[in-house]
Amino acid sequence: MKRGCHLPFNAKKNQMSNSIRTASQKSRYESLLQAVSTTDILAICIVADPDAIASALALKRLFWRKVKKIIICRVNAIKRSDNLAMLRYLHIAIPYIKQIDTTQVTNWAIVDSQPHHHKSLSNIEFSILIDHHPPSPVLTVPFMDIREEYGATSSIMVEYLRAADINPSAKLATALFYGIKTDTDNFARSSIAADIKAFHYLYPHVNRNIIKKIESSEINKKNVADFRKAFDALQFVGDTVYIHMGMVNDSDSLVIIADFFLKMVEATWCMVSGIYGQKVIIIIRNAGFRLDAGKVASRLFGKLGSAGGHKSAARAEIPVSVFISEIGDLSKVSDFMKDKIKKR
């Protein structure tokens, strides 16, 4: 099959025919192989997090000895301590995209993300895209497998490995296992039976001691000050625990804080706001039934910036200039957020 023709696995629900819906995983795998040639130098580009890292490793394994060379690269800085621990304990090296010679790359793939998710991805012409996030309506990628009902892209990649009759190594199985754990938040977030099936399949192959080491790394000496600040700023608005962190040096700290404080027994929702660079960033989490953090984020903040996400986890980013012109100075962030929470 010539590169550039559209393979039949664009999983956008409004475009899938009945035959595509019932396509076997084996046929998906066979079509994926047709998206590359033996002379390709393939670059797998990711927005690095555990699910993306694991999915990239799985795709690399699927194409082993089927292309000339495979490179995995990232477009973002890796700062979270658990992500760094994953790389360290599993001996994974993923260079920044500017550190590789892209002039030799003949084919590009992306997993667990889409071109509109990061500015450094928007100018790359991808031939392969495998993801579980809601699809952009303007995507035009030859091989595209998007299953937004899945809790993790790692679960999708396990299905490809099984279709290819590949038994994952302990390293790959551990990475995929952790990818599913983090993106489903141990199945507290949206997931389906396929995620559980993949998790169960991987379990016998996993190094569980490494999983424990990675998971215990999230709270460390470097972020103690953030937790101290969060405890001081914590307040409840109904069943929502809300924390405004003010100026932060790393937006990932807001995610860590939100995930941690959702564990409070009184909290159904957790919202954490902070100012990072030229944006007001809001992280939203929930632990209830029939709730949708993504829809709440879009409804409350969509008119001011970008907002959306999954049912149990979402994010909004409002440019500081927009916030100041529409709401007032940055000292009003906390009042603005509490008002929005009351209207949720």
214 token code pair: 């990675």
Of 22, 176, 157, the closest CA to residue 86 belongs to: 176
| CATH code at 13-215 | 3.90.1640.10
pLDDT the model gives residue 13: 39
Burial label for 329, CB within 10 Å (0-12, 13-18, 19+), is exposed
Residue with tokens 């603005």: 336
Q: How far apart are CA 88 and CA 175, in angstroms?
A: 12
Residue 293 near residue 309, CB atoms below 8 Å: yes
pLDDT the model gives residue 17: 32
Q: How far apart are CA 143 and CA 118, in angstroms?
A: 20
Residue 274 near residue 257, CB atoms below 8 Å: no
**Residue ranges per domain, the chain?**
13-215, 226-342
CATH for the 226-342 domain, from 3.10.310.40, 3.40.50.620, 3.40.50.300, 1.10.10.10: 3.10.310.40
184, containing H or E segment: helix 170-184
Q: Which amino acid is at 2?
A: K
Q: How far apart are CA 214 and CA 210, in angstroms?
A: 6
308, containing H or E segment: strand 306-309
Q: How far apart are CA 341 and CA 175, in angstroms?
A: 36
Q: How far apart are CA 163 and CA 107, in angstroms?
A: 23
Kindly give the confidence (pLDDT) of every residue in the chain, 344 residues in length, as a single tens digit, with 9 standing for 90 and above: 334 334 444 444 334 333 333 468 999 999 999 999 999 999 999 999 999 999 999 999 999 999 999 999 999 999 888 899 999 999 999 999 999 999 999 999 999 999 988 888 988 999 999 999 988 888 889 999 999 999 999 999 999 999 999 999 999 999 999 999 999 988 877 789 999 999 999 999 999 999 999 988 877 777 899 999 999 999 999 999 999 999 999 898 999 899 899 989 899 999 999 999 999 999 999 987 788 999 999 999 999 999 998 888 899 999 999 999 999 999 999 999 999 999 88
